[in-house]
Each structure stands twice: as structure tokens, then as C-alpha cells.
């Protein structure tokens, strides 16, 4: 199945683009996807999303269908889903 | 509550016509105090719009002197004030626009020593600080003291805003429970981007004080001005939030 990804701020900067489409196996959940994305987008991406011990950094927001979802909720992904990963911004 | 003078009735004539605002809403603005921190690209325009709208008292917290690199966006700072205190420049410019405005200038950024007192003096807080440490302090005090806080932020051509009402909404620490690791003090910015989200912040503060419209509670409005995509994201309280959780 295809998942559309959108990125903002520092996550967008390390990925190098604002959106992407990735293919995932049926039944993949959110946590598996985010772990797999580390393999696609590299160490700097991984360092924003996960700490040294591999724990998710909760200040990065995950948005699905215009609603925030928690990493722990670990939703099962569906074909055509759009997931936005937002790193926190504070510019004034 | 102080009533409007004849001069004020004339000045605000066109906004008195806004449905659900009127003379009563304008009197509420006149009798209100808003804390704006800091007065950079975002806070300058928030303060300017609130001064124009007739908010009675502004508390402006911003340390340091005006630098050349402020002048692309910090619209209350001017070339002739280079090297002199930012809050003085801001006060002078705001008084040119609205000489009736009462300004409490604080030549400091929000810190552990002043946050409780400054938040305590305000009815509404507009948070426009470039460091998360300052934002988290204002959020903590706003939640503790039950004061609404409008949190506006930008980065490059992206911007976002949410309105935090303690007891009703997610707070900033629900949104960001841990210190963000990727944020850097220097960020790419056009004044038109910080100014755009600043105007949204100002109208949120005006709505909260006057009491009309629907605030951006439990919603995060995000704008990408590179593509002009705008969306509103549902956000929620975080169980076990160390600031607003039970
Ligand atoms: Zn909270």
C-alpha cells in the first residue's frame, strides 16, 4: 500500500523535501513505519525522531487526517493515508 | 470599568461596527492588559495591531538593543534606534500610533525570575518568543494562573498558532512534552511571514478579550506560505502532562 508523507520545519530540512510517497506492507503500523523511515532518510532524520536509546521524541507531532495522533496509539496504516510529521517550531 | 472617551469613540468608529464587538467589546479592550513576549518579527506586529485596536495596556518584554539584522522583520525597531534598547524603540513607535496606550516596558526576556509576576499582571498572553525555554515558562505560569495564552510561531515560510485556555484545552507542554532537540536559535525568516501569523495572534487576543467569535482552542492552525496551504489540526490534552495534567 502507498502512504503519503508530509514533513515540516527541521524534519523537512533533513529529508530534503516537503512530501514523499512510500510503499508499506499491508498491516504495517505507525511505529513500524517510523522506524522504517529511519532507514530511508538517514541518521539525522532518526536523531530528530528518536533518542539515543530508540525512544520516540514526543515533541514531534504526528498528524493523520487533520488530527494529532499519539505515537503510543500505534494506529494501523491504510492505503492512501496521509501522515504529516511536524517538528516543533518557535520562531518569533 | 473605564468608559470610552469621545476621542476613542471616533478612533474606533469602524471596528465598533463589527458584529458582536461594539462599544462593550471596545470597553473591554480598553480595560485589558496583554503581555507580548518578545517584540521581534512576530511580537512587534502583535503589539502594533493591539495598540491600533485600542487595548489599554501592553506589557512588552524584550531584552537587548536594536541590531541591523532586526530590521527586516521587527517592525517596531527603526534604523535611527540602532544600538539603543529595543523596548524603547517599540514604546516610541506604539505611542506614535496610539498615545493613549499604557505601556509597561520590561527590558528583559521572560525568565524564571519574572514569568510569574508578568503573567500575573496580564489578562491575555501572546507568546512570540524564539526559545522554547521562554515559551514553556509562560505556558506554565498561564496554566497555573488560569490565563489564556495565544501561542504563535514560525519557521522559514511555515507558521502556526493555537489558543490555550487553561482547563479547557491542551497546553504547550501537552503539545511538546519534551525539550525539542532540533530547534536552533537562528531561523530563516521574512518579516511578511512572522507578520502574517502575528496578525492572527492579535485577532485571537482581541476575540478573547472582547468575547466574540470562536477561538482556536484545541486546534493548531498551520500555514505553509511557500504553497499557501492552510489547515487546522485537532490537538488534544496529553495524559500525564506535567504542566496541566491532574
Ligand atoms: Zn498540558
- pLDDT over 80 (residue B246): no
Q: DSSP state, B222? A: E
Kindly report the backbone phi and psi dihedral angles of residue A5, in degrees, each rounded to the nearest multiple of 5, phi listed first. Answer: -115, 140
Q: What does the alpha-carbon distance between residue B129 and residue B132 come to, in Å, rounded to a whole number?
A: 7
**Mean pLDDT across the stretch B36-65?**
98
- Domain assignment of residue A91, yes or no: no
- Kindly report, residue by residue over B129-149, the tens digit of the pLDDT: 999 999 999 999 999 999 999
User: Count of CB atoms within 10 A of residue B242's CB?
Assistant: 11
ipTM over 0.85: yes
CATH of the domain at A19: 3.10.20.30
Contact B155 A57 (CB under 8 A): no
The predicted model gives B111-115 an average pLDDT of: 98
The residues near B108 (Cβ < 8 Å, ≥ 6 apart) are B61, B63, B114
Q: How many CB pairs under 8 A join A and B?
A: 94
Domain count, chain A: 1
Touching check for A17 and chain B: CB below 8 Å? Answer: no
Nearest-CB residue to B154 (from A48, A61, A91)? A91
Whether pLDDT at B3 is above 70: yes
Q: How confident is the model at residue B123 (pLDDT cuts 50, 70, 90)?
A: very high
Mean pLDDT of chain A: 97
Q: Is the CB of A89 less than 8 angstroms away from the CB of B160? A: yes
> Given an 8 Å threshold on Cβ–Cβ distance, is B181 in contact with A89?
no
CA distance to partner chain A, nearest, from residue B184 (Å)? 9
The CA–CA distances, whole Å, from B195 to B55, B158, B169, B186 equal: 19, 12, 25, 17
pLDDT tens digits for A19-62? 999 999 999 999 999 999 999 999 999 999 999 999 999 999 99
Residue A7 is part of which domain span? 2-86
Average pLDDT, chain B: 97
Span from the CA of A46 to the centroid of ligand 1 (angstroms): 26
Chain A residues within 8 A of B234 when measuring between CB atoms: 66-68
pLDDT at B156 over 90: yes
* In chain B, where the domains are located: 32-234
The residues, any chain, with a CB within 8 Å of residue B33's CB and separated by 6 or more, are B55, B56, B57, B58, B59, B121, B122, B123
The DSSP code for B50 is H
If 0-12 CB within 10 Å is exposed, 13-18 middle and 19+ buried, where does residue B230 land?
exposed
Secondary-structure class of domain B32-234 per CATH: alpha beta
Cell of B177: 512534552
A92 within some domain: no
Residue B52 CB partners (closer than 8 Å, separation 6+): B97, B98
Rounded CA-CA distance B70/B65 in Å is 10
Are A89 and B235 an interchain contact pair (Cβ–Cβ within 8 Å)? no
The x, y and z cell numbers of residue A14, run together, are 533533513
10 Å CB burial of residue B107 (0-12, 13-18, 19+) is: middle
Using CA atoms in the order B134, B140, B142, B145, what is the torsion angle rounded to 10 degrees? -140
Q: Which residues of B touch A68 (CB under 8 A)?
A: 220, 233-236
pLDDT at B185: 87
Q: Specify the DSSP element, H or E, that contains A19.
A: strand A19-23
Amino acid at each position: 500500500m502507498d502512504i503519503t508523507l508530509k514533513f515540516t520545519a527541521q524534519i523537512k530540512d533533513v529529508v530534503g523535501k516537503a512530501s514523499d510517497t512510500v510503499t508499506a506492507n499491508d498491516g504495517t503500523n505507525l511505529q513500524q513505519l517510523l522506524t522504517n523511515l529511519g532507514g530511508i532518510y538517514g541518521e539525522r532524520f532518526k536523531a530528530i525522531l528518536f533518542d539515543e536509546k530508540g525512544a520516540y521524541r514526543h515533541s514531534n507531532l504526528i498528524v493523520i487526517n487533520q488530527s494529532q495522533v499519539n505515537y503510543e496509539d500505534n494506529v494501523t496504516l491504510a492505503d492512501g493515508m496521509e501522515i504529516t510529521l511536524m517538528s516543533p517550531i518557535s520562531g518569533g | 470599568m473605564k468608559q470610552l472617551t469621545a476621542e476613542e469613540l471616533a478612533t474606533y468608529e469602524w471596528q465598533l461596527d463589527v458584529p458582536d464587538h461594539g462599544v462593550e467589546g471596545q470597553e473591554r479592550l480598553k480595560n485589558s492588559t496583554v503581555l507580548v513576549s518578545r517584540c521581534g518579527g512576530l511580537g512587534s506586529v502583535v503589539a502594533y495591531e493591539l495598540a491600533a485596536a485600542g487595548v489599554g495596556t501592553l506589557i512588552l518584554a524584550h531584552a537587548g538593543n536594536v541590531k541591523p539584522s532586526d530590521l527586516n522583520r521587527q517592525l517596531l525597531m527603526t534604523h535611527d534606534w540602532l544600538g539603543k534598547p529595543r523596548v524603547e524603540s517599540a514604546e516610541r513607535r506604539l505611542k506614535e500610533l496610539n498615545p493613549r496606550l499604557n505601556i509597561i516596558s520590561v527590558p528583559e526576556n521572560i525568565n524564571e525570575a519574572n514569568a510569574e509576576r508578568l503573567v500575573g499582571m496580564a489578562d491575555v498572553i501572546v507568546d512570540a518568543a524564539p526559545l522554547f525555554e521562554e515559551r514553556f515558562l509562560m505556558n506554565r505560569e498561564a496554566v497555573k494562573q488560569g490565563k489564556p495564552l495565544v501561542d504563535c510561531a514560525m519557521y522559514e515560510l511555515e507558521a502556526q498558532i493555537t489558543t490555550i485556555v487553561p482547563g479547557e484545552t491542551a497546553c504547550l507542554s501537552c503539545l511538546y512534552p519534551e525539550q525539542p532537540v532540533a530547534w536552533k536559535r537562528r531561523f530563516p525568516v521574512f518579516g511578511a511571514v512572522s507578520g502574517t501569523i502575528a496578525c492572527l495572534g492579535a485577532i485571537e487576543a482581541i476575540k478573547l478579550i472582547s468575547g466574540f467569535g470562536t477561538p482556536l482552542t484545541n486546534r493548531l492552525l498551520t500555514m505553509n506560505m511557500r504553497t499557501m496551504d492552510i489547515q487546522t489540526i485537532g490537538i488534544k490534552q496529553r495524559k500525564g502532562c506535567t504542566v496541566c495534567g491532574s
